[in-house]
Amino acid sequence: MITVELTNVSRWYGNVVAVNDVTLTVRPGVTGLLGPNGAGKTTVLHMIAGLLGPSQGTVLIDGKPSFRNPDIYRTLGLVTENEGVPGFLTAWEFVLVGARLHKLPDPESAARRALDIVELGDAVNRRISTYSKGMRQRTRVAAALVHDPAVLILDEPFNGMDPRQRLHMMDLLHRMGADGRTILFSSHILEEVEQLSGVVQVIVAGRLAASGDYRHIRRLMTNRPHVFLIQSSDDRRLATVLMGQISVSAVELDPAGLQVRANDYGTFTRALSTVARHHSIRLTGVLPSDESLEDVFSYLVAQ
C-alpha cells in the first residue's frame, strides 16, 4: 500500500507556469485527476512518474522522490497518452522485453499473464503496426502491468476506446484499486471519473481547484453562495426587486455597485435579466466576484 505525496509542487517552462503550487495526496484505491485540456494533468502525472522534475516542491512515492530514481519503477507502472510503441515488434515480444528489462524471475509467464489481463488474445503474435488504436493502448497497459506494480499511473486511458473496451478497462482498474493498489488516472470527461473513482483531484489552469469525493464537491458547489457585482441604471430599485427572488440570499448597496449573493448560479442569472427588463432597469455591468470558483464550477456544470 503506497501513498503518493505532492507538496507545494510547481513546474514552469520559462514564463509559462504549467503546474502552480499543488499539494495533494494519492492514497491506495482509484483516484481520478480531472481537468480541462491543457490544465496540467499530464505534467503532474509525468512528475509523479519520475519523467519530469518539479521546479519547486517535492514529489514523494512511499517517501522517496520519483525523479532521477530508476528504482522507483519496480513498483510503478506508467501508461502515457501518446501512442509510442515500436511497430516492428509483436505485442508478445514487446511485453516480454518489458518483463526482461524489469529483471523479473520468470518473464514469460509474467508477460503471458499481463497480456491475458488485457485480453489481446491471438493478436499478440501480430506486429503492433497492424493494430488498432485500442489494441495499442491495451498493449501498453499490459507492458505497464507486467511487473505487478503497486502504483499505476494512466494518462487519459480511455481516449479512443470503444464502450466495451472502456467497460473492461474500468472493471480492471476498479479491481486493482480494491486490491489495495494506488491507481491514478487522468481524464477530461466527467462521466469517466464519475463512474470509476471515489476520490477526485480537480486541476484547472495548473492549480488544484478541488479534492475529495466527487459528489461532495458537487454539493459544495451548489450550496456555496456566489457573489456578483452589478451596476445598473437604478441600483436601489434593483436591490429591492432582487431581494424578492428565491435565488438571492443577500444584497448590499455599495458605491461601486450592487453586491448580490446568490445561492443558485443558474437560476439567478436567468432571473436577473428577466427581472431587470420587467422593471425597465438597464444593466450596465455584471461581474462575478469570486473568479476561481466560477471557473471550476462553470466547467463542471457545463459538461
Partner 1 sequence: MNTTIAALTFRALLGRRRVLLLLPMPALLIGLTLIAQSSPAFIDEWGPVVFAQLGLGVILPLTALVVGSSVLGLEIEDGTITHLLTKPLPRHEIIVAKLAVAWSVTTVATAVPLTAAALITGSAALAAGLVLGAAVGALAYTAGFLALSLLTRRPVAVGLVYIILWENLLTTFVAGTRILSIREQAVALSDSVAGTTWLPTHLNPVAALILAAVLTAIGILGATARLRSYSLSGETS
Q: Which of 60, 97, 227, 281 binds partner 1 (CB under 8 A)?
A: 97
Interface with partner 1, residue 154, by CB under 8 A: no
Whether 38 contacts 24, CB under 8 Å: no
Judged by CB under 8 A, does residue 17 bind partner 1? no
Cα–Cα dist 206/210, whole Å: 12
Minimum Å distance from CB 100 to partner 1?
A: 5
Q: Is 285 in the site for partner 1 (CB under 8 A)?
A: no
| Closer of 152 and 239 to partner 1 (Cβ) | 152
Given candidates 14, 15, 63, 84, which one binds partner 1 under the rule CB under 8 A? 84
Beta carbons within 10 angstroms of residue 18's beta carbon? 19
Is residue 18 within the footprint of partner 1 (CB under 8 A)? yes
The answer to whether 275 contacts partner 1 (rule: CB under 8 A) is no
Regarding 51 and contact with partner 1 (CB under 8 A), the answer is yes
- 117 is a site residue for partner 1 (CB under 8 A): no
Distance CA 260, CA 44 (A): 37
SS3 sequence, 255-301? CCEEEEEECCHHHHHHHHHHHHHHCCCCEEEEEECCHHHHHHHHHHH
Q: Are 7 and 63 in contact (CB under 8 A)?
A: no
Residue 14 near partner 1 by CB under 8 A: no
Min dist. Cβ of residue 52 to partner 1 (A): 5
Number of residues that bind partner 1 (CB under 8 A): 39
Residue 59 exposure: Cα atoms within 13 Å on the Cβ side: 25
Cell of 210: 478541488
55 class by beta-carbon count within 10 Å (0-12 exposed, 13-18 middle, 19+ buried): middle
CB of 128 to partner 1, least distance (A): 11
CB of 154 to partner 1, least distance (A): 13
| Interaction pattern, residues 64-83, with partner 1; x per rule: CB under 8 A | ---xx-xxxxx-xxx-xxxx
Q: How far apart are CA 153 and CA 77, in angstroms?
A: 6
User: In the complex, which residues of this chain contact partner 1 (CB under 8 A)?
Assistant: 13, 18, 42-43, 45-46, 49-53, 67-68, 70-74, 76-78, 80-86, 88-89, 97-98, 100-103, 143-144, 155
